[in-house]
Amino acid sequence: MTSIDRARAIVETYEAELRSELPTDAYLFDVHTHLGNDIDGMRGRYEELSALLDRFGFSGAFVFCLDEPDREPGFCKPNDRTLAHGEGSKGRLIPFVRLDLTASPIDEARRALDLGARGIKLHPRAQAFALDDERLGPVFELAVERGVPILIHGGRGLPPIAENLEALVRRNEGVRLIIAHAGIADMAALAGRLGGIPGVYFDTSVWSALDLLDLFRQVPPEQIVYASDYPYGRQPNSLLVSIRSARLAGFDDDRLRAMLGGTARGIVEGEPPPTLTKPLGGSSLFQPLTFARIHQYISMAVPMLWLRQRDAIGALGLAANASRERDGHATESEQIQELLATAGELWQEAPELTEDDRVTVMRAAIQLVNLADLIAVTTRA
C-alpha cells in the first residue's frame, strides 16, 4: 500500500468515528463554502463539494466565489458562476454575492440579489478595505432592506475590527451577520461587543480546536454556526473539530444540533434569531503534558507544511517521538503516532512528485497532522 493510499484509509476510520459522534437526527448545514479558482491556487469544484455534502449528510450550504483571476470588475463573472451553481443544485447551494468596494458594490449586490443571490460575502483582507470604510454602510443597509445575511471574513490578516463592526451592526438594526473563522482576528473584542446580540453569529471554520474552545466560553451557543471553509477545510476534520470542541465545552445534543445546522436553517428561512443563553466552557484547558508538547511541535511544523517546505528543523519528528511516550492515554497516543508517521512519509515523498501530485500529497499530510493535533488538544488530562 502506498503512503497516499494508507493516508486515505486512515482518514476513513475517522469518518466512521465522526458518524458515531453526530447527534441523532442532526440537520447539517455549512454556512461557509467556496467554488471557483482562487489566485492562491486553491480550487473549489462543484462536483467535489456536492459529493462531500452527499457523503456527510448535509442538507445545504451557503456558497460564494473565491478571489478569482477574473474578479474584475466587481466579481461580476464569478458571481454569475455562483448563481449558476446555486440554480444547478436545485436550491441545495444557496448563493451569496461577493463584493469589491472599489467597483460599484451596491449595483453589483442589487444585480445579483435580483438574480437569486440570498446573501452577501465581504472579505476585508482579500479586497483590502478597513471596517471603518464609509462604503460599508450602504452594504449593510441593503442587507437589512433585502432581508439577507452578510458573511464577513474574521480570520487571519486583519487588524482589530470589533469596534467598527459593532458600529455597523448597531446602526443597522436587524442585520444578520456571520463572522467567519470564529472571529479569531479580534476574538475577545468581537465576543465582548457582539456576543449577546441576536442575529450576529460566529462560524466554526478554524484549524484548531483551541480557537473554538476559547470562542465557546465567550459567546452564547445559539450564536455559533457550523462552517467548513471548503475547499480549505477538509472532512471529516472540520466536523470533528467542531463536534469534539463543543462536547468538551459542555454542549448537549440539542445545542450541538443547533450549531451543526438548526440555527443556520433559521437564517435561511428568515426566522427570528433564537433566544440566547449563557456561554459554555471554561477558561482553562487540562491536557496531558505530553500532548501539550505534541501540539507545540505540530504548531512548529504546520507553517512549513502549508508552504510546502521541507521539515528543516525536524518538528514533525519531535511530535511523532513524543507520541511514543505512554502516560495513561495509550489509544490516543497510538492514533497520533500513526497519523504523524504517515504524514511524515508523505512529506518526504512530495519533492519527487509532479506539481499536481505534490499538492495532493501535501494536502493529505496536512489533513493527517490536523487530526493528530485535534486528538492532542481535546484529550483531557
Does the pLDDT at position 327 exceed 80?
A: no
Pick the CATH number of 289-378 from 1.10.540, 1.20.120, 1.20.1070, 3.90.350: 1.20.120
Q: Where are the chain's structural domains?
A: 24-268, 289-378
Spatial CA neighbour of 92 closest among 120, 62, 66: 62
Q: What is the CATH number of domain 24-268?
A: 3.20.20.140
Q: 151 phi and psi, to 5 degrees?
A: -110, 125
What is the Cα–Cα distance from 53 to 217, expressed in whole angstroms? 29
Convert 294-325 into a string of H (helix), E (strand) and C (coil): HHHHHHHHHHHHHCCCCCCCCHHHHHHHHCCC
Question: Is residue 326's pLDDT more than 80?
Answer: no
Q: The dihedral of CA 345, 348, 350, 352: what is its sign?
A: negative
Is the pLDDT confidence value at 214 over 90? Answer: yes
Which pLDDT does position 53 carry in this prediction? 98
Q: What is the mean pLDDT of residues 293-322?
A: 92
Q: State the pLDDT confidence band at 271, using cuts at 50, 70 and 90.
A: very high
Nearest-angstrom CA–CA distance, 380 and 329: 9
Mean pLDDT for the chain overall: 96
pLDDT band for position 174 (cuts 50, 70, 90): very high
Interval 143-151 mean pLDDT: 98
Q: How far is residue 72 from each of residues 79, 103, 130, 152, measured CA to CA in Å?
A: 11, 8, 20, 20
